[in-house]
Amino acid sequence: MIKERAIHSVRAREIIDCRGFPTIQATVQLEGGAHGTADVACGKSTGRFEARELRDGGTRFGGRGVMKAVANINERIGPSLIGKDVTR
């Protein structure tokens, strides 16, 4: 594997989408310095092969916050990707 393509870090954060709802934005940083950032689209309908939304519940943003999902990415998913080749 070429070291420049290895994942160095994955960080997620909660942002507000164009409709005013919370969603996730994630940045992947590679060992070589390259990085990419993407926002997760929050659709009105979910197909049977799409991931289900993980909303926080409670009163924050009317229960639509995504801090649980952000924590899953930052604490579980991201660390499991460290060192992986981004092209595979």
Domains of the chain as residue ranges with CATH:
3-42+53-81 (3.30.390.10)
pLDDT in tens, 29-39: 999 999 999 99
pLDDT band per the 50, 70, 90 thresholds, residue 45: low
Under the banding of pLDDT at 50, 70 and 90, the label for residue 74 is very high
Structural contact between residues 24 and 73, judged by C-beta atoms closer than 8 angstroms = yes
Q: pLDDT, tens digit, for every residue of 53-67?
A: 889 999 999 999 999
Average pLDDT across the chain, whole number: 91
Residue that is written with structure tokens 């924590």 in the block: 71
